[in-house]
Amino acid sequence: MAEVRLEDILKPEFPALQHDEPVKKALQLFEDGAQGIIVVNSTGRYHGVIRPNDALEGSLRTLNVPVSEVSYNVASVTEKDEFIPEDFARKLFSADSRFLPVIDGNDRPKGVIYDLDVIAYLDDEVITKKTRIGDLTEGQTLVYLRESDEIAKAFSIVRKSPFSHLPVFNGEKTEIIGQVTTRDLCKALNRRREREGDITAGDPGWKRVTVSGIVSEPRIVEALSSLHQVIKIMRDEDRHAVLVDLNEKEGPDRYRMVTSRDIIKFLLDLAVSEAYRVWVTGHPDDDIKEISADAALRVMEKFQRFLGSEAEMFVRFKMNPHQSSGGMFSWTCMIRLNSAEGHVFNSEYTAFGADNAFNEAIDRLERQIQEKKERMIERHRPQKILD
């Protein structure tokens, strides 16, 4: 990929508010589609940003609270910084923000860089076309609402948690009727405010209004869809979350939610070596992933001449939460190795403890490679000619 400059992906137009403006102005900008708002001080210098859930939290008691009181200081980048996708993705993930502010030498905002644009430069098609979006849902549970739930419940969930998209099911929990997002809640607050004055998010009246009247349409994708396809859908449709249909079971157990933040985490978690391509996913512990990547690399180096320099190894962990022993969960480790010559090796093992599952799986894989190598050597060994 050609070198990308910061100005190539910087968006010079962005929503902004003065630090002393009321939070109700932020609510209107979020209803209009803002992913975040930059807050500046009286001299126009960068002060911080507001996310939709920050605005909803700030509107709990009054809509006139200054935005400076609900903003927070996301690490900004300067217009002279080199664009390194991995570094920008880490800042986005750490800040739990959908954009990074870009400031000039005088601390004045010059634009923003959005998470979906950064994801596009992290999107290595070699792996994202082979990765199913369902793979990103391992270990997840779905946080959802029923159509009879009151809006007050939705306010409570998005204010106190990282969830910004909540699927809504019918009363029997057999069918999805829509979703409630932070944008939908900002819109509901604005509409009621127009009718009744400055109604807050903490008003008791929200306990008498159900979410069924404010739902929007979710984007549903099949679990077998490739991650590359989903990234394209999210960018083309400017969506930051998709609902994944696992096509198994019914009701809430059938679906999972994947957000742009989940995708950033997945892409950052890929352990890539310079000599070979080694990807380790599915485990939350960075030490486990690093140890596994190092061990996988040693196997590939051992068989370098046989596998070729463009070999790829994919290591995926899956926890089995309903199986445990002595406080240790059962893990399945699945390994696939593609050699440069097109040979494919697969190994899988389940054990208590992720390290035990990996060690046995990698040992079995190594034996497979050794046996395949010996068979090929034998096949090409010169035959003795008898007199």
Of 103, 37, 35, nearest in space to 71 by CA = 37
Check the CA dihedral 375-378-379-380 and report its sign.
positive
For the residues of 69-109, what is the DSSP string, one character each? GT-B-PPPEETTS---HHHHHHHHHHHT-SEEEEE-TTS-E
243 and 301 both lie in a single domain: no
Q: Copy the structure tokens of residue 181.
A: 């997002």
Range of the domain at 302: 270-378
> Strands (DSSP E) along 170-238, which ranges?
176-181, 220-222
Beta carbons of 178 and 216 less than 8 angstroms apart: yes
Amino acid at the residue 323: Q
- The mean pLDDT of 182-211, rounded to a whole number, is 91
Q: What is the CATH number of the domain that holds 67?
A: 3.10.580.10
Could you tell me if residue 122 is inside a domain? Answer: no
Q: What is the CATH number of the domain that holds 362?
A: 3.30.160.100
**How does pLDDT run across 118-164, given as a tens digit for each residue?**
999 888 887 888 889 998 998 788 999 999 999 999 999 988 777 89
Last residue of a domain, one of 219, 242, 260: 260
**How does pLDDT run across 23-59, given as a tens digit for each residue?**
999 999 999 999 999 999 999 999 999 999 999 998 9
The pTM of this model reads 0.72
Last residue of a domain, one of 92, 114, 136: 114
Q: Which pLDDT score, from 0 to 100, does residue 380 have?
A: 58
**How does pLDDT run across 247-280, given as a tens digit for each residue?**
888 889 999 999 999 999 888 876 455 456 788 8
Number of domains the chain contains: 3
Alpha helices per DSSP H over 59-180:
85-95, 115-122, 125-128, 151-160
Q: What share of the chain is helix, strand, coil (3-state, %, to 5)?
A: 40, 25, 35
340 and 253 both lie in a single domain: no
With H, G, I as helix, E, B as strand and everything else as coil, classify residue 225: coil
Could you tell me if residue 385 is inside a domain? Answer: no
Could you tell me if residue 368 is inside a domain? Answer: yes
* 327 CB neighbour count, 10 Å cutoff: 6
Q: Copy the structure tokens of residue 289.
A: 């992933």
Number of residues in the chain: 387
Sequence-ordered list of residues with C-beta below 8 angstroms from that of 55, at least 6 positions apart, any chain: 23, 26, 27, 30, 37, 67, 70, 186
Could you tell me if residue 121 is inside a domain? Answer: no
320 and 235 both lie in a single domain: no
325 and 241 both lie in a single domain: no
139 and 77 both lie in a single domain: no
